[in-house]
C-alpha cells in the first residue's frame, strides 16, 4: 500500500528547519529569537492566536488519519482478486502513520502551550494535578489507573 509522508508534516518540518537556523543566527548576533509558527501557506487561519478553533488547521492530521485507517483496513481484509499484494497495508505503513500523527499532535500541543494565557495555564495545571493524584477513597488518579491496567495486561498474558 505504501503510505506517503503527509504534505503538512513535510511543510512543518521544512518550516521548523528554516526557523531553527534563523533563530540560531538571531541568537548568535545577540538579538534573541523570534517565535516559531507553523507553515502558513495555503491556510485559511491567518495566525490569530485568539482564533483557537481555526488554529487546528495548521496541525491537521486528517490526511494521516485517512492513510492510517486505510492501512489497517487493507492489512486485515484480503485484497480483491485483481489487486496485488502492494495494495495491502503493512505494519510499516501503520507505524509510519502513527509516527506522523504523533509528531503533528506534539507540535500542536507545544504551539498551544507557548501561547496559552497564565489563567488557562493555572487551570490546566490544577486539573492535571487532580488527575494525577488519588483524590478521595472512591477515585484513583491516572498513575494508579495506569498501574492497574499494566497488572491487568500482564495477568491476561498469563491466562
Q: How far is CA 153 from the centre of its chain?
A: 25
- Distance of alpha carbon 68 from alpha carbon 88, whole angstroms: 12
- Residue 81 binned pLDDT confidence (cut-offs 50, 70, 90): low
Residue range 72-91: average pLDDT? 72
Residue range 100-120: average pLDDT? 89
- Residue 63 binned pLDDT confidence (cut-offs 50, 70, 90): very high
- Residue 98 binned pLDDT confidence (cut-offs 50, 70, 90): very high
Give the pLDDT of residue 78: 58
Residue range 45-70: average pLDDT? 90
Residue 45 corresponds to which cell in the numbers above? Answer: 487561519
Give the pLDDT of residue 104: 93
Residue 56 corresponds to which cell in the numbers above? Answer: 487546528
Backbone CA torsion sign across 8, 14, 17, 20: negative
Give the pLDDT of residue 137: 64
Closest CA to 93 of 79, 72, 63, 78: 72
Give the pLDDT of residue 84: 66
Question: Count of alpha carbons within 13 Å of 47, Cβ hemisphere only?
Answer: 8
| Cβ-proximal residues to 30 (8 Å cutoff; 6+ apart), any chain | none
Give the pLDDT of residue 92: 86
Look at 23 and 5; give whichever has higher pLDDT. Answer: 5
Look at 121 and 76; give whichever has higher pLDDT. Answer: 121
Give the pLDDT of residue 15: 85
Q: How many CB atoms lie within 10 A of CB 9?
A: 21
Say if pTM beats, i.e. exceeds, 0.85.
no
Give DSSP secondary structure letters for the chain: --PPPPHHHHHHHHHHHHHHHHHHHHHHTT---PPP----TT-S----TT-HHHHGGGG--HHHHHHHHHHHHHHHSPPPTT--GGGS--HHHHHHHHHHHHHHHHHHHHHHHHT--HHHHHHHHHHHHHHHS--STT---HHHHHHHHHHHHHHHHH-
Calculate the average pLDDT of the chain: 81
Amino acid at each position: 500500500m505504501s503510505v506517503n509522508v503527509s504534505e503538512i508534516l513535510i511543510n512543518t518540518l521544512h518550516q521548523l528547519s528554516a526557523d531553527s537556523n534563523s533563530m540560531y543566527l538571531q541568537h548568535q548576533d545577540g538579538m534573541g529569537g523570534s517565535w516559531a509558527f507553523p507553515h502558513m501557506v495555503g491556510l485559511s487561519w491567518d495566525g490569530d492566536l485568539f482564533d483557537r478553533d481555526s488554529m487546528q488547521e495548521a496541525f491537521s492530521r486528517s490526511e494521516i488519519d485517512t492513510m492510517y485507517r486505510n492501512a489497517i483496513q487493507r492489512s486485515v481484509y484480503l485484497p480483491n482478486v485483481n489487486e496485488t499484494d502492494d495494495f495491502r497495508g503493512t505494519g510499516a505503513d501503520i507505524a509510519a502513520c502513527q509516527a506522523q500523527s504523533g509528531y503533528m499532535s506534539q507540535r500542536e500541543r507545544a504551539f498551544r502551550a507557548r501561547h496559552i494565557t497564565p489563567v488557562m495555564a493555572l487551570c490546566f495545571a490544577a486539573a492535571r494535578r487532580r488527575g494525577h493524584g488519588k483524590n478521595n477513597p472512591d477515585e484513583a488518579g491516572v498513575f494508579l489507573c495506569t498501574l492497574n491496567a499494566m497488572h491487568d495486561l500482564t495477568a491476561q498474558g498469563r491466562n
